[in-house]
Structure formats: C-alpha cells, structure tokens
Structure 1
Amino acid sequence: MIKNYIKSALRNLKRNYVFTGINTLGLSIALAASFIIILFVINELSYNNCHKNRKSVYRVLNYYNTFDRTLTGTPFVLASTLKEEFPQVEHAINTKSIQEFTILHKGENIVVNDAVSSSSEIFDIFTLPLINGTNTKTLLDDKNSICISRSLASKLFSRTDAIGKEITASINKEEHVLTVTAVFEDIPQNSTFRAECLINKSFTITYVNKLFETTNAETNWDHNSWHTWLRLIPGSNPSLIDSQFTMLERKHMGENPLFHYSLQNLSDVYLGSEKVMNNSIQGNWNSIKIFSAIALLIVLVAMINYIILSTAVSSGRSKEIGIRKTFGAKNNQIKYQLLTESIVLTIIVLPLAIAFMILGLPYAEELFQTNLPVIGANIIVYILFYFILTVLIGIISGLYTSVGLSKLTILNVLKGQNMTGKKKNFVRSALIIFQLVIFCFFVACALVIRGQYQYSLEKNPGFHNKNTLLIDIKNSENYTPFLNETQANTNVIMASGAYSGLPTYSFGAMMIPHHQDQEKKVEVEGMMIDFNFLQTMGIPLVDGRYFSTDYGSDVKNSCILNETAVKALGIKDPIGKKIGEQTIIGVVNDFYLHSFRSDIPPLKIQLTEKYLRQIAVYYKEGSAKDLIPQLEKSWKKIAPEQAFFYTTVEEIIEDMYSSEKSRFNTVTIFAFFTMLIASFGLFGLTLFIAQSRTKEIGIKKVLGCSDTIIIFSFLRMNILYVVIASVISIPITFYAMTEWLSDYSIRTEIHWWIFALSFLIAGIVVTATVFIHSYRVTRLDPVKSLRYE
C-alpha cells in the first residue's frame, strides 16, 4: 500500500510540475535557513556535553555581598578546604589562566593563549583523553611538568610523541624549562573550559604574590584570583553543600563575611551565566529563543505556501478523487495518499536544502558573528532533527488539504462542489495575510534595530569618539618613553594614559559612604588615569580643576568625580571636600564610561603611576595614515620584542554594538527570505487563478474590457491583504521593539515612517509579483482563451 502511495505521489508531483517546482524552491530555502539555525541552536545547547562527568562537576561562584554581584574568582585555599571539610567533595581543583605564556621554539616565540595552571586532579574533573602520557594522578605534580594538546604537540614536535621532551617557556616574563608529561586530545569547541597546555599551579601563586605584594596568596581568603572546580561523589545533594557554605564562610572569614559561595553545575556554565561577571565563554538564551522563533516563522511561511498552492490546484484533484471513490477508495486512503504526496515532496527537497545550507554556512557565520562548526559528536543529533523537522513539515503542510479533499463525496464532485467557495477563499486569504504580517514585522524590526545601531554610533558619548587611537602598553616600563615619543609627534594634538581607555568593558567599583548619611553606602566605579587623560579625551570640567603636575599631592591625595557621583553621594559644593583620604579637586561632565545599554554610573577618577595599560592619542584630523606608521616605528624602537597593537575609539564603539549590527543583518536577511518564499506562493497562486479564469478573461476582452481593469482585478485583493497585514503588524512590532529598546539607557524612537516603509516595501513586492503573471494573461488572444479547457 505504501509503495502505491509513493508511486502515485511521484506521478502527481510530476503532473503538477509548476506546483512542485514552486514548493520545492520555497521549501528548500526555508529548510536551509532553519537547518542553519538548528545547527547554531544544537551547538549552543551541547556545550560541555564532551565532559562525561558534567552532571557531578560544579564551579564555585562567589557572590560579593557589598556590590550585589556574582564573580567567578575564588581564593586558592578554597579548593583544599572544601575537600577537607566537605565529605561530599571527591575532587577539588584550582584553575587560573596564565596571562603571558610564550614558548621559545626554533628561535621564534610561540604565543599560547590558553595556558592554564592547575593540579593533576584536573583530569578527574574534565574529560581530557590522553594520546600519550603516564598515570593522570601525577601528571602535574612536578613544578616543571607540562601537558600539551595534540595541536600544540604537532606544532612543536611535528608528532604527538612528545613525552619527556623539554620546552623553554616564558611564564609571566620569567623563563622556565618544562618537561612534557602528557599529550591530550584537543578540547572540543563546545567546551567552556579551554586549554592548549596545563602547567603546575605554583606558577600562579608566585604571580599573585608578586602582583599584590604579599607572601600568603596560597592561604589568603581575600585574593579571589582562581576558579574553583569540584566533582561530587555520585548521589550527593549540591543544595546541601550550598547551605553549608555559610558556616564555612563564618569560620574562615569572620561573622560578617564579604563573600558568599554557591555551586553552579558545569552543564549550566555556558547558558546560565548571564549575571556572572568575568565569565569568559558564555551563551545567551535570548539569542537561542530569537533564532528559533525566526526559524519557526520561516518554516511557517513555507508551509503556508504549500497549503495555499494545494487549495489552488484542488479543483483539478476533485475529479481524480471522485473516480477513486467510485472504485471503492475510502476517506482515510485518500487522506493518506495526499499526506504521502506532501511528505514525499519534503523528503525530495531535503538533499537540496542541505546543499543550500552548506553553501550558506560561511555567510551565516559572518551574519551571526560566530563559528558554526559541524561538531562530530553532534552528527546524529543534527541528522535526527533535520529529518524529523522535514517529515513534520510534510505532515503539517499536507494535513489541511488532505483532510478537506478526502471528505468530498461522489455526489458533490458530480455537482462540482469541490474545495471552493467562501470558506476556502477565507482560509487562503488568512494564510496570505499571515505571511505578509511576518514579513512586515521583520522589516519594521530591522528598521528599528538599524536605527538604534546608527543612533549608538552617532550619539556623542561625552568624550572624543573620532580621531582618537588607543595603544596597548603591555609592559609598564615602556609607558613613559613611548608616551614621550608620541607627544613629540607633530600629528598628535595630545596623548596620555589610563588603565583602560574609553569606552571600556572593564569594571571596578567601591562602596563610599553617603555624605549626608554615613550609614548609607553608594556604589561608585573607579577610573585610574595619568595626567592630561581627561583633556586628551575631551571631557570638560564642570567645577574645580584637572589633575596637574604642579600639585605633588594629586598623585595619591586627590580625586575627581563626575556629576552623577556628586548627586549620588549627596555632596554640596564638592570642591575641597574629602572622600576618605582624598580631596575632591574637580567635577567633570557626565560621560558614558561603558555602552549606552547602561546608565552613567557614579564615577571616582584618580591618578595612578603603576596601572597604566593604554595610551590615548588624540590626533589631527586626516593624519592617521601618516601617524600610525610613525607610532609603530617608535614602538619597535622602544619594544622590539612586542607587537604594536592599537585600535580606534570608533572601532571599540562599533564592537560594543556589533550585536545590534548582527541582529539587523539577521532580521533583514530573514525578511528577504520570508518575502521571497511568500512571493513564490503568490506567483503560483496567481498562475492557478489565472488558469481558472481564462475563459472569463477572454469574454471580458471580447466585450471590450481593458487590460488595466483586468490587471487591477488581480491586484486589488492582494493590495488589501498588504493593508490588513501592515495594520496587524504595527502593535506586534511596537510591543516587541519597545521591550527590546528598554535595555538601553538612551534609545531611538519608533517612528511612524518605519511602519509606512514596511507597508510600501510589502506593497511593491506583492504588486510586482502579481503583476508579472496578470499582465501575461491580458496578452492572450481572446479566441484562444474562449477555447481553453
């Protein structure tokens, strides 16, 4: 029976080749787009699945009570303490990334970006399969041991047989000779834990001691510089450990501890860390929801096309169904036959859709601004999802038509009462309008997102956002000589340094007592700068003065506030007032320290001599082409071993709003696909309607009806559809975009012309699509039209 259904389905698809061709093209585009999105979603949801013990592995999070913020940093001593005092903890480790790790190989310095310090127990926490190596229990016990990835081993030794080989490495500017004890498989891309090599944990203890000028980093509960990972004994209750943390904190940090610890399962690290600061690799549930919704809408448009075209050609199927019923066919047999036809069509489309997906992947990666790898471990999941989605589309698309046609009786067929009439036309009209609503929604959303993106780029943030370079200074010893060279350049108007230039992603805050109520604490962000930095960035004074070399006390005993800080702290006549040991010498105009997504924070600015990591260069307009090579030459003269790296303020701002640009591109592309697929349906529908009205059009032409009136008869209903769809899309778009814009402290407006433009675009596309075929119909010879059967 199934074999006959398939044969019959293939014959009917061949017979109705226009219907088949239009649906094949529309479905293949829709499936290709949805397949790319499914690839993205599956990859996002599969993070950390590569670690076999993920359900029992937890990261310790650190809630900073004073600032109401959750951090990933924890003290080094926490891991060993938890293992000693918590019987549920089977393994506990510290991990910390090495900031500066290079390997000297054949006279070249190879920079290793993902170098991690830890202990041998890391192999009990994360799944790191060994290619070559000894017992994992002792791999990192020796201070000079190192475990490297397959890729790094191939780069250094041209093979994975690297055990026992020595590596000369610079670790935080200190040279060490390390011995390879193991080579592990490259960690999959869908892992939040990344490492090209693993070294002994003692290196980071030495580094933190030197950084904070202490000797007790190994036992200090205040230095939150490490990540703590636990593996619990099977069957342990993690919530019980969470409740025990309070006693541990009081025992080791006093009755009023600054921090509160909690556990986060490894499976939740990627998609459950939106409110966790300093989390390097993380996803976003909103992106998954948005892209999934877009995929669903595109698939819906393709399914609607199938239904619309199926109802259009249903009149030609009624006689066939009547004959089959005359020979004894039952309703269910007719229904299954038509469903099989729909499923067969989608399965035929499947290879074409996959081919389109493969061709479109490079463009999709650029669009989403992320890699979309085909991960080997997910292959079966991809195939299942793609096949299930394809069959599901076939079933849903064919269900409406198959149920309607299978209910036709022989008597109704003989009377000509097939699937026509007001009910059929109403359903068809509603489906067309639904397609157009989706398109108008996409277009209007794209316009709003683009408007916010442009507004963010053009809005004055309160400092120089043009003609300004930011140059990285990795070694503080190079700061002063390079700054002097830069200031001497004739193309430079002014230059100065800071810990981080503007705008910045970095965050550092402190709690300062309110001036009127000492019991009340105000969170104030800190900014560390050099002399003349505020002038270089063009930040104007409101009151007082800038930092000056004429005042020796400015280095340690002076600070400048922004207007928001003065208001938040309740300070009247701030100049000369004290904040702790520092005197307020000036108040600057408010400026956006971060992006426009957040409000301007209360800000305390102070001088620093030690933490100057960037130099801001304000240069003469149009001189960048000459200036940059000159600065690079100066840099190589001062620091020949370090690469010259710079960026512009414009580039940083563009990067800050890259997600808006990505969303605009994404929504625009999918709006195009939506209208393209819908246009195929409208074109096919116009074709079938024109065929059914051939005699009518011939008679009208014989009676003197003009071509314009005939074309208008095709267009007027479709224009009405556009009007209705545009009106329906307005409140939906307005609500969605108002919600989206609420994340910005300053935002663009949703102008009326956005909806007018979306209506105009939809109207032009629909009119052009319908006009093409309706015009061809008017050119037919009336005599041939009257003879048409």
Structure 2
Amino acid sequence: MLTPTLFHSNKMIRHYLKTAFRFLRRNKLYTIINALGLSISLAVSFIILLFVINEFSYNHCHKNRKQVYRVVNYYKEFKITMAGTPYVLAKTLKDEFPQVERAFHVRNVRGFKLKLNDEFIAVRSPKACNSDVFDIFTIPIIGSLLNEDPLQELNSIVISQKLADQFFPGEDPVGKEIEGLINNTEQILIVNGVYEDIPRNSTFRADCFLNERWTLDPLNQSFGVSDMDVNWTYDFWNTWILLSRDADAAELDDQFEAFELKHISEDPHVHYSLQNLADVYLKSADIANTGMAGDIKNIRLFSTVALLILLIAAINYIILSIAVSTGRAKEIGIRKTAGASIARIQNQVLSESILLSLLVLPVALLFMWLAKPAAEKLFQTSLEVIRANMVIYVSFYLLLTVFIGLASGLYASSYLSRLKVLDVLKQKMSFGRKRRFFRSSLIVLQLVIFCSFVSGTLIIRSQYQYAISKNPGYHMHDILQIDLGRGFPSYDAFLNGIRSIPDVKMAAGAMDGLPMNGYMTFMQPHFQDKEAKVKMEGFAVDYDFLETMGMTLLEGRSFSTDYGSDLEHSMILNETAVRELGIEDPIGQKMDSLHTIIGVVKDFNLHSIHTEIPPLVIDMTDKYLNYILVYYQPGTLDELIPKLETEWLKVEPDKPFASTTIEELFIDTYSSEKNLCTILSIAALFALLIAAFGLLGLTLFVARSRTHEIGIKKVYGSSEQAIVFSFLRSNFLMVLVAELLSIPLALYFMGKWLNNFQYRADIGWWVFVIAFLIATLVVLLTVSIHAIKASRINPVDALRYE
C-alpha cells in the first residue's frame, strides 16, 4: 500500500512530466534544436565511451588477473625494458620460489600451418608453451584426452573452438590426427583438447597451443648453439607466472637481484621485474616487444573530445533556455503567486531537460549504431559490443544521458526560479549587461572549442604531410619491398630471377624493411675515450643495397663482390655514428678486431620521424635476408607485379607472394596521425554543427525580442543594411575573441603532441587564419538568415508586436 508521502511524490513526478511534455510541444523550434544537438553529441560520446570501456576491459576476462604477472627484462647497458626473457626462467622461478604456483614461457611458432583438404592453411598466433597456460589464464578446455597436461607430448596440439569448427566440422576432434607444417617440416599432430575461443579483450590470444619445445630448434640453428633451453643469454620468450593469493609481488621483485647474481653472472646485464596482467594493455608504452597494447593517451584525448562536444550541446540548452525565458516568465510568476517554491520550480525546469535527454537517447543510439563501422576504421580497432561489458555499457549510457540533462538544465532552473514575481507580472524583466555578457561568453566558449579543433586538425595534417613527404635519405618512390619471411630457402635464385626482369633497375636483400620497426642495438666503445660507450644500432644488408635504395656514400666505398672480406669483415657507418664515436678519418679504421670501416653513408631515417637518426652500423649478411627491395622503372608497377609473382612461384609455390611499396609503408607508418586528423576534423564538424544549431535558434529568439527596437530604428530611418550589420557586428567580435583565446590553447596542446616527433613541421600562422575564416563564415551565414528577415519587418507591425 502506498504511503501518503510516496503517493504525493509520484503525483508530483507525473505533474512534472506532464508539464515538461506540454512545454516541449509548445516550443517546437527550441525542442528540435536541442534534440538535434543532444542526439549528435550523445551519439559521438557513446561511440567514444564504447571505445574507452572496451580499452579498460582488456584482460578482465581472466579471473586470476590480480595474481598473474609477466616478467619483464631491463637491459642495464641499453637502458631499455623488454618483454623477452630466457626459456629457462619460467621453470627456475617455479622451482625456487614457493609463492610461484604456476609458470610458463611462450613464443609464437613462426610459419605454422594446418592441413585442410590437401592444402596447408596458416594459423593465427600459434603459441608453444606448457599446460600451465590453462591454469594461469582463463581458457576453459571443453574436451581433453590428458586433463592434467594436454601439451605433454611433442606431437600434442590443443585447438580453439574456432579451429575445431574449421578443420573438424560437426565432429569431436579430440584424439584425432591432423597434419601440421612446423619449422618447414610436416608433422602428424594429435588433438589433445579443444578450448573455448579466447575473448577479443584479452592481450593473450592464440588459435592453438603446441608443445613448448617446438621453438628451440630454429633458434639453436640460427645462433649456432645447442643449449637454448638452459642458456640465460637469449631472451626470446615471454614468461608468465601465477602467484599464490597471499603472495606479495613487491617482495618477489626484491628477491630478483640475488636471483640474477646466482644464475646469470656476478655482474648481470639485465634486471627482472614483474608487471601485473591488469597493467599489460595500457601501461606498456615503455616496454619493447610487448605485443598487443593500447595507448592511454588516446583514451584521454578521445574522452576530452567527447566531453567538449557534450559541453557545446549543454551550452546550447542553457543559451536557448535563457532566450525563451521571456515566454515562460509569466508562467513562473503565476506559479510563484500560487505558492510554488524555488525548489519546485527548479525541479520542473530540470525535469524538462532530463526528459529531453532521455527522449533523444534512442535517436543517439541509432546514430551510434549507424556510425560504428566508420568509427572502427578511424579508431583502428573493433568497437564490438562485448557481452561481459553489457551492464557497464547500459549503466554508463544512462548515467551520461541523465548527467547531460542535469548539467544542461541546472543554470536555466536556477535562473528561472529566482525571477521576481512583481517584475514578471509587470513585464519588467531586465536582461542587462551581465546576462548578455554571460550569454556571449557561452557562445565564445563554443567557438573556442571549434577553433581549437580546427587548428589542431590543421597542425596534425601539416605534420602528417611533412612525415610522408620528407626526404628520408633514400628513394621514396619506385621501390617495392617483398617480404620473404624468415629462413627463405631460395634467396639467390629468386633474386636472380628478379634482376632478369627488364623493368627492374636494381634489387637487393636486407634483414629488415624500411622504415624499420624493431631495433638491433649494441654498445660500442668510444674511439677517443675507451671508458665511454655509445649505444649503436645495426642493420644487415646484401650487396647493392645502398645503390638500390639511392643512399648517398660520403666517404670510402660500398660493399662489393670484388672484395671477398666484405661479407664478414667490413662495415659502413652513418654520419651520426662517426660523430658520436669521435672517429677521425674513419676509412680503414677498425671497429673491433674483426671489422674494418670501409665507408660512410649520409644519414637517413632508419625508423619513423618519431625517433632520432641513431648511430648506425651497416654490415653484410647472407643468413638473415628477410626482405628484397626492388627499384623499378617509373610507371611499370602494374606490369611488374605479375612478373615478380611468376618468379616467386618458380621457387616458393606453396607460400603467398607479399609485397608493398615504400610509399604505402610510409602511409601505414603514420596511419595513426592520419586517423587522429580525421577524428578531430569530424569533431570540429560536429562542434560547429551543434553550435550553429544553437546560434540559429538564439538569433531567432533575439530577433523576436528586438522586434520593437527594430521598428523604432526603421521609423527613425535606419536601413535594412544597418540593422543586419548590427546583428553581424556583435557575432563577428565573438568569433574574433574566440580565435584569439584558442591560439594559445592550440599552441600549448599541439606543441606537446609535436614533442612526440624528433623531426616536425613548423606551426604556421595560416592555421589560425583558416580556423578564424571558417568560424566567421559559418557564424555570419547562420546569423544573417534571421537578421535579414528581421530587417525587412514592417515598422507598423513591429511597433504593434509588444
């Protein structure tokens, strides 16, 4: 049974809603403008919120995440932290530390394929590890032959449900054989288990798991050793551990120093530490080779964009609420005369703004759903609605909707509830300088946001154009990069086939492509101060590489088949290396007991322009040539590709041909900058669109409120042009003030963003001029629509209006 208080409360809520509906229906233009602004701003915010929630939800699918840690590796000499650790580390930690309940090392099995219908198909992210993986991560096994250790045997394989459906449709694969290609050798594998597909919001993903020993032989062969499984030097595996519930990770961290002294050396070159699974995705910016990772800076940036667009929509509501307040004043006065309290009037006005925001919620969700595919391309990630996050989505969307309703109506409710009854009933409402200044300040704030977005967009675009057009120190055009993969068996035959094609000017192999993503670093003693060491980078190439890429040789000579010692004993330095090492007359000098400097090449951008040109040593290799770069005749690429594919099929018929141009690689390298530019452009467009809606409505209400004034001016001889100019002048001044305020903001925030680049374009004055011109054009066009209409009103009608 309802209590009198509860009944009265429900009755009041129904009354508020009924009155709110009546007001919104009566003020259609006001409602439409606010509804459009709110629905667009909420849709943008919902998309960004979906992205943010998904980013923060990574690894929440693993129940033991608070106890799961990755061991990271700090290289003291290079001052760099990496995720790579030795093979032997996992077992040793488990044996020596009782708080380590489970441990495994893991590495991807390169080139792994499974046979389906007489064809080998590549498997995404196949991982080699031990069975502790299923205890550490939440990866439920659906069916298994060996429940305790399904990866015990060398020929064991545990596959995902996705692979089970693909290779064994309608069957139970457990216990069945499947043919695999591992390390370029065909193997018969036994399916020892099937596990549920790992959720996409996990940084640890795999389509299958193999026995841990499959990764040893290729690395033993590559480095000419046989003890990779017990060697503490080679850090090619990731190590994961599960700590007991009462264990202290910081305490284990403190014990690593003694552990390193015991197992590595008296002066260990590395230091181990623990990183919690919950921190892996968003707190690994300073960890190299970390794998899948997000960027907390992007989350902050996009969240700021969403808040600013919501702010513009809220400002619209406030401005228009003030504008229509003259029409509501008598209603408020009568309510106060009838005994309505300030709180009751405030609640009434707030209920209108909350109701409006709730009414546009379905429209905002529809806009979000329609825009989601395009947003996924911009964010470069899947904006999937994750079922496990559903409660979070619904909660945040409703909270945000109600919040924007409250924030929008708060000022209007406070202002209207404090109107004086006598002034209202006598129609003596005063809109003095303070009110006009407040309204103008809100419009200026909207324009500041827009101008900042436009300036930021233009600065990012300028930097992007600089990045893809800057001369990197080698050919940017007419270069094709062919990905051979590791251990390509027919390198010489394929290279000779390429060189036989008439459209090919030159071709050469290299260990890495350009611009290079990874790092191969080492420390080199300074030539003048032997106690000092210089951090160097290495780059291994084949004969003719410098000539193929068009690099400039400043001193000495390039690698040549005329010198038999070049393959093992010659090196070429770049200018930075010569300078940093303090070398005078470098040609002929020894880098070490085995290597002689034969040339100096002009500096070129080994990596992207985010990093400085490093001191670089270029040497030769005939073992690790993973790429071939082809310099071809301009305009012949379309004809060249089929010819290259023909040569490829002669030597590698079972492997797909993969190539890309240097220009495409540069565009891919700076794709995040391009997408950021697009995102800010869209944000600027929405900001201007929402602000224009508000300005359009405001101009209409102002024109109506000034009808009497306009009539008097026309009676005294004011022309239509003068009246229109009076409308435009004040708005032009607001745009000018907004642009002046946005300049220091844009310079500060974009200056911080440009600090991410070692080489950057200057911020030109034209950026701010364009932002000002766009804002001026849109604002004046919007205002002039009603200004012209108001200027043409009949003076007699105008004087009769009030």
**How high is the TM-score relative to the length of structure 1?**
0.98
Q: 1:82 aligns with which of 93, 107, 110?
A: 93
1:107 to 106, 111, 118: 118
Deviation per CA, 1:316-338: give whole Å up to 9, x if none.
11100111111111111001111
Matched, 1:279 2:279: no
Aligned partner (choices 513, 529, 535) of residue 523 of structure 1: 535
What is residue 51 of structure 2 aligned with on the other side? 40
Report what 2:615 is aligned to.
602
Confirm or deny that 1:234 pairs with 2:245: yes
Measure, in 2, the Cα distance between the counterparts of 1:223 and 1:353.
53
Answer yes or no: is the 8 Å Cα contact 2:146–2:192 preserved in 1. Answer: no
Q: Using the TM superposition, give the Cα deviation of residue 211 of structure 1 relative to its aligned residue in structure 2, in angstroms.
A: 2.7
- 1:327 maps to what in 2? 338
Moved more, 135-144 or 746-755: 135-144
What does residue 365 of structure 1 align with?
Answer: 376
Q: CA shift at 1:135, angstroms? A: 5.8
> Given the superposition, is the C-alpha separation of residues 783 and 419 from structure 1 closer, same or farther in structure 2, using an over 3 Å criterion?
closer
The letter for the 2-side match of 1:642 is K
SS in 1 for 2:343: helix
Give the aligned residue type for 2:544: N
Distance in 1 (CA, whole Å) between partners of 2:250 and 2:49 is 34
Contact 1:221/1:253 (8 A) holds in 2: yes
CA drift at 1:701:
3.2
Q: Is the 8 A contact 1:245 1:261 kept in 2?
A: yes
Alignment of 1:464-543 (within 5 A): 464-474=475-485, 475-543=487-555
Q: CA RMSD in A?
A: 1.3
Question: Can you list the C-alpha shifts for 1:464-487, whole angstroms capped at 9, x where unaligned?
Answer: 011100111134322111111111
Residue aligned with 1:647, SS = strand
Aligned to 2:17: 6
1:670 is matched with which residue: 683, 696, 717?
A: 683
Contact 2:157 2:193 in 1 (8 A): yes
Task: Choose 706-715 or 569-578, whichever is displaced more.
Answer: 706-715
Contact 1:342 1:398 in 2 (8 A): yes
Identity of aligned residues (%): 52
1:291 alignment partner in structure 2 = 302
State the partner residue of 1:190: 201
* CA shift for structure 1 position 2: 1.0
Of the three residues 680, 685, 706, the one matched with 2:719 is 706
- 1:737 Cα deviation from its structure 2 partner: 1.4
Q: Please say if residues 495 and 615 of structure 1, whose CA atoms lie closer than 8 Å, have aligned partners that are also in contact.
A: yes
Q: Could you tell me whether the CA contact under 8 Å between 2:60 and 2:278 is conserved in 1? A: yes
Contact 1:741 1:747 (C-alpha < 8 Å) held by counterparts: yes
Residues in 1 aligned to 2:544 and 2:494: alpha-carbon distance in whole angstroms: 16
Does 2:318 match 1:307? yes
Deviation at 1:134? 5.0
| Segment of structure 1 superposing worse, 383-392 or 706-715 | 706-715
Shift of 1:160: 6.3
Out of 539, 544, 558, the position equivalent to 1:546 is 558
Match of 2:626 in 1: 613
* 1:105-146 CA distance string (max 9 Å, x none): 111221102101111111110001223335642211122221
CA distance in 2, matches of 1:776, 1:340: 34
Counterpart check, 1:49 vs 2:60: yes
CA displacement at 1:537 relative to structure 2: 0.3
2:190 counterpart letter in structure 1: T
Q: AA paired with 2:547?
A: Q
Which 5+ residue runs of structure 2 have no aligned equivalent? 1-11
SS at match of 2:629: strand
Kindly state the Cα deviation for residue 743 of structure 1 after the two structures are TM-superposed. Answer: 1.9
CA-CA distance at 1:603 after TM superposition: 0.3
Q: How does 1:115-130 map to 2 (within 5 A)?
A: 115-130=126-141
Unaligned runs of 5+ in 1: none
Query: When the two structures are aligned, how many residues end up with a matched partner?
Result: 789
CA distance in 1 between counterparts of 2:382 and 2:721 reads 52
**Deviation digits for residues 140-180 of structure 1, max 9, x if unmatched?**
11222211111111111113622112111111211111111
**What does residue 150 of structure 1 align with?**
161
* Residues 433, 725 of structure 1: 8 Å contact kept: yes
**Cα deviation code 1:627-676 (max 9, x no counterpart):** 11111111112211111110111011111111110111011110000000
Answering whether residue 69 of structure 2 is matched by residue 58 of structure 1, we say: yes
Q: Is the CA contact (8 Å cut-off) linking 1:315 and 1:419 kept in structure 2? A: no
SS in 1 for 2:617: strand
Q: Secondary structure of the equivalent of 1:94?
A: strand
Q: Which residue, out of 136, 143, 147, partners 1:132? A: 143
SS, match of residue 567 in structure 2? helix
Aligned mates of 2:795, 2:506 — CA distance in 1: 81
Residue number in structure 2 paired with 1:445:
456
Match 2:748 to one of 731, 735, 741: 735
What is the alpha-carbon distance in structure 2 between the residues aligned to residue 334 and residue 700 of structure 1? 37
| Deviates further, 22-31 or 615-624 | 615-624
Residue 178 (structure 2) pairs with residue 167 (structure 1):
yes
Letter in 2 for 1:573: D
1:419 offset after TM fit, Å? 6.2
Counterpart for residue 588 of structure 2: 576
Of 639, 644, 647, 1:626 maps to 639
CA contact (8 A) 2:120 2:181 kept: no
Report the CA distance between 1:705 and its aligned residue. Answer: 2.5
User: Which of 440, 444, 455 is the aligned partner of 2:466?
Assistant: 455
The residue number in structure 1 matching 2:6 is none
1:93 aligned residue? 104
Cα deviations across residues 393-431 of structure 1 (Å, max 9, x unaligned)? Answer: 111110111011111231221343436222211111100
The whole-number CA distance in structure 1 between the counterparts of 2:391 and 2:430 is 42
1:160–1:183 Cα contact (<8 Å) kept? no
State the shift of 1:253 in Å.
0.9
